[in-house]
Structure 1
Amino acid sequence: MKEQSQRLGTQPIPKLLANLSIPAMIGMFVMALYNVIDTLFIARGVGILGVSGVSIGFPVMMIIMAIAAAVGIGGASVISRRLGADKKDEADLVFGNVLIMIVLISSVGFIGAFTFLEPLLTIFGATENIMPYAKDYLFPIMVGSLFFSFAFATNNIIRSEGNSRFAMITMIIPAVLNIILDPIFIFGLDMGVQGASIATVISQATVSIVVLNYFLKGKSSLTVRRAALKLQTKIIKEIITIGMPAFIRQVAGSAMMIAINLMLIKFGGEFEVGVFGIVQKLAMFTIMPMIGVLQGMQPIIGYNYGAQNYERLKETVKLGMKVVTIISGGIFVLMMAFPNVLMMIFTGDQATIETGAHAIRIMFAFAVLIGAQVVSGGLYQALGMAKPAMILSMARQVLFLIPLVLILPNFFGVTGVWLAFPAADLLAFILSMIFLYRDRSLFFKPKRGASNYETAPS
């Protein structure tokens, strides 16, 4: 087993969490920066309708990412526990199944680009004015879905074996390439929204080649073996069971955006959809550092759970919770103090700035609670406890946010859409604390505690 995996059970937790989380945070930060800059170029080069088109098409991209997340994160959880139990051959077999699943699933996206793209966008809320921009953005994305799926899934696999530095590099490469290519395609070649999409596909294809080389050249703790490249029902079931919360979380994000876009069009108009497109990218930017901390925590938790080292598991949970709470507190201060400045990065239109600043202050009213929500579901996922992980992953977006988005605008108009966010944050935080309290024997005692939930087989 490579040293990068062995250190998960030996290195001091503060140093180990920093070594794993900081690269993940940097990678997530750069990816989020790319998303912000991508939207900035579209807003400046195409206009608010271009941003609206991306906002309508983005949920489809999120579904592709959701499937990759289910396979990648589920596979990563299984692999980290196999490595912790010193079952390297079984870890290779899981990895082989992940690769085959990626190829099979991404073929659906490719076919969909040529068959049901426009009806799909209509269902997702594209109006006559928005449709051309949405199609221009989404067609290249669906054609290149293999690259997205492979890069997104394998990033989690790489992190599961403890190689956070390379995982960070695989996020930075496409983000930097995208930032470079965006102005060339959008402005230089005058390709508008489609230029941004093509730049994204090229960037993901490039990093896919880098990642493939990493596995084929023996730099990984995992080995790509022909014998492992065959689907096994038991392994697929375990991957999907553990990855399902991530899938639900991503699909819920897609459903959330669809619901929001529909309600904004109903109670406002295409202008508000564009404003939300900008605010939503800022929201993604702020949550990325906390996801980075979680990604650093998960391989430590999974490995030490597999090795039955519960004292290290407890220490990781406590430290991670402290860090994400500090980060979410900083986000709250930033969003309350400088919403106008943040909006001015994207546009000089005063109406857009004022509407966006108003939305930001409402949406982030309970931002300080976000960190605990992000970590809680991820903890159960890393342990292979599918049921609580799924419930907590569904909580904010499915159980609370989507119903509130559909209900509150009927009483408060467009402002009701913004109010749904802090209400959902509060309710999801309360639910996550209830779950963690019920399983405190597992997380906060240096012994294997009994859980109220069924643990996936390892």
Structure 2
Amino acid sequence: MSGSLVAQENKQVARTFWRFAIPSIIAMLVSGVYQIIDGIFVGYFVGEQGLAGINLALPLLSVIIGLGLLVGMGGGSVLSNFRGENNTQAVSRTLSTALYLMIISGVIISGLLLIWGDMLLHMQGGKNAPGGDYLVIMSYAAVITIGSSAMPILIRNDNKPTLATQFIVIGALLNIVLDYALIGHFEMGLRGAGIATVIAQLLTCLLCLGYFLRGNDSVSINLVQYDRHICLRIMQLGSSSFVMFLYFGFTLSLHNTLLTSYGGLNHVAAFSIVGYIASLYYFFAEGLAGGVQPPVSYYQGAKQYHNTLRTLKIATYVIIGSGLLMVLVINILPNIFTSLFTNDQALTFIAIHGLKLHLFTLYLDGLFFLVAIYFVAIGKGGAALFVSLGNVLVQLPFLWILPKYMGIDGVWLAVPLSNLVFACAVIPMFWRSVNQFKKTDEPYLV
């Protein structure tokens, strides 16, 4: 292939990538920002107990969000593959099957959390663990939370990334207004935070349902089109995203338990602040990785493997470079970040100490997001599951051993040190897969 044609195709691939990545990044960042704003209102109007309460509830809520991503990422990957094959009937069946999964999984997890939620809170933070009111409200609304996570991803994979972002932004703006009213003005505390989140998510769900129910040239919902085989494929491809959030919830729960044991609820509150700050990068990285999935799934269906490689090259540079930049800024200007959530000097000191220890390998988390989504996009659900599940398992010995010898610092350091170890397995695995595409499409990569 001539140099001019390669350059032209590179530009086209880059435009396609950013057309999906930018709305996905904006959507994830907006979602992150309104969660951070939740934390800001809770930090200043409820205080240390409120921050600790949300952090204790998050491991349980991560299961709900993970189910939404399971349906969204798995269904989106299947949908994009069928779009690449121009199979509109299969696209419609995929969407209808995904809707069934949202409802069924939401009802099941809602019941489980209402039964076991309080006990799981107390296991992390002791008998007087805060966060119960927030968890109850979010548990009742599990179907809504799952739908607000999954449906924008499906719309994005229906080649409408900007519209999907608009629906998320509208919900996020409503959440910010309701946070101000219910937490700041009416002083409803964590109950207000939960109610504000649910109402905002409901609006996003209704906007997405309106898009699908009115139908269009490419896709529409037909509730009699449930397909068992597509359901299994969605679950297979989406399982890595689900496990990624289970990992997040499980390790967060372990951190909460260990921080309570070695430090107290003030360390759990500090960990909440660290989590909000880290989420600025996590949501960017997840958004960028999510933007990779639709074009790569399409290229896979169309057998344009050379374009898959070009897309991955852009995404890898951006995701690692932005992570390194975030680590640098956090270490130079930590007070700017912590002051958003608290003016308590003791809590600020603990949070800054935690920031510097806990986030120094932040960029590797972004790489793991990208690799997992890449394997989903090319239909290798098992490899994606390995990346997600392995990231959980490798942390366990670090969380078990380090606190025994290093105390509270061992809790803060467990994740970054385990990331370094796990990267030694993930990077070669990613490299081998990329090299297979290179061998297939060498004539295109001149």
TM-score bin, normalised by smaller chain: over 0.9
Residue 341 of structure 1 deviates from its aligned partner by 1.9
Which residue does the alignment assign to 1:103? Answer: 103
Match of 2:317 among 307, 322, 325: 322
> SS of the counterpart of 1:353?
helix
C-alpha separation in 2, matches of 1:399 and 1:114: 28
> In the alignment, is the contact (CA less than 8 A) between 1:372 and 1:432 conserved in 2?
no
Q: Counterpart of 1:143?
A: 140
- The question of 1:276 aligning with 2:275 is answered no
TM-score (normalizing by structure 1): 0.91
Q: Residues 404-426 of structure 1: CA distance to partner in whole angstroms, max 9, x if unpaired?
A: 12221111111111111221221
What is the distance in 1 between the residues matched to 2:237 and 2:112? Answer: 27
Indicate the residue corresponding to 2:204 in structure 1.
Answer: 207
Give secondary structure in 2 for the equivalent of 1:370: helix
Matched, 1:406 2:400: yes
Aligned position for 2:115: 115
1:252-272 Cα deviation digits (max 9, x unpaired): 111011100111111111110
Residues 206/329 of structure 1: CA separation in 2 closer, same or farther (3 Å cut): same
Whether the aligned pair in 2 keeps the contact of 1:106 and 1:146 (CA below 8 Å) is yes
Question: How has the CA–CA distance of structure 1 residues 372 and 120 changed in structure 2, closer, same or farther, with 3 Å as cutoff?
Answer: closer
Residue number in structure 2 paired with 1:435: 429
For residue 441 of structure 1, give the secondary structure of its aligned residue in structure 2: helix
How far did 1:117 drift?
Answer: 3.0
Structure 1: how far apart are the matches of 2:262 and 2:139? Answer: 31
Structure 1 counterpart of 2:5 = none
Identity %: 26
The structural deviation recorded for 1:70 is 1.4
SS of residue matched to 2:287: helix
Q: Deviations over 1:200-230 (max 9, x none)?
A: 00100111111110111224731112431x3
Change (3 A) 1:89 1:219: closer
CA distance in 2, matches of 1:445, 1:325: 25
Task: Choose 30-39 or 297-306, whichever is displaced more.
Answer: 30-39
Deviations 1:81-104 (CA, angstroms, capped at 9, x unpaired): 111111110111111111011111
Is it true that 1:238 corresponds to 2:237 in the alignment?
no
Residue identity in the other structure for 1:404: F
How many residues were matched structurally? 435
Deviation larger for 438-447 or 90-99: 438-447
CA distance in 2, matches of 1:192, 1:312: 50
Unaligned segments of structure 1, at least 5 residues: 1-8, 449-458
Moved more, 367-376 or 307-316: 367-376
- Asked if the contact 2:125/2:260 (under 8 Å) is kept, the reply is no
- What is the match of residue 454 of structure 1? none
Q: Which amino acid aligns with 1:93?
A: R
Distance 1:180 1:73 in 2: 29
Residue 356 of structure 1: CA displacement? Answer: 0.7
Match of 2:78 in 1: 78
Assess if the C-alpha contact under 8 Å between 1:311 and 1:445 holds in 2.
no
Partner SS, residue 131 of structure 2: helix
Q: Tell whether the 8 Å contact from 2:281 to 2:326 is kept in structure 1 after alignment.
A: yes
Could you tell me how far apart the structure 2 residues matched to 1:359 and 1:171 are?
31
Partner of 1:184: 181
What residue is the counterpart of 1:456 in the other structure?
none
Give TM-score, length-normalised by structure 2: 0.93
> What is residue 4 of structure 1 aligned with on the other side?
none
Relative to structure 1, the CA distance from residue 375 to residue 84 in structure 2 (aligned partners, 3 Å threshold; closer, same or farther) is same
Q: How does 1:149-188 map to 2 (within 5 A)?
A: 149-188=146-185
Indicate conservation of the 8 Å contact 2:45/2:187, yes or no.
Answer: no
Q: Tell me the residue number matched to 1:337.
A: 332
Contact conserved, 1:332 with 1:364, CA < 8 A, in 2?
yes
Whole-Å separation in 2 of the counterparts to 1:277 and 1:110: 24
Structure 1 residues 281-320: aligned runs within 5 Å = 281-320=276-315
Give the conservation status (yes or no) of the 8 Å contact 1:401–1:424: yes
What letter matches 2:297 in structure 1?
A: G
- State the partner residue of 1:385: 380
Aligned to 2:347: 352
Residues 401 and 421 in structure 1, CA contact (< 8 A), matched pair in contact too: yes
Q: Compared with structure 1, are the counterparts of its residues 219 and 281 closer, same or farther at alpha carbon in structure 2 (3 Å cutoff)?
A: farther
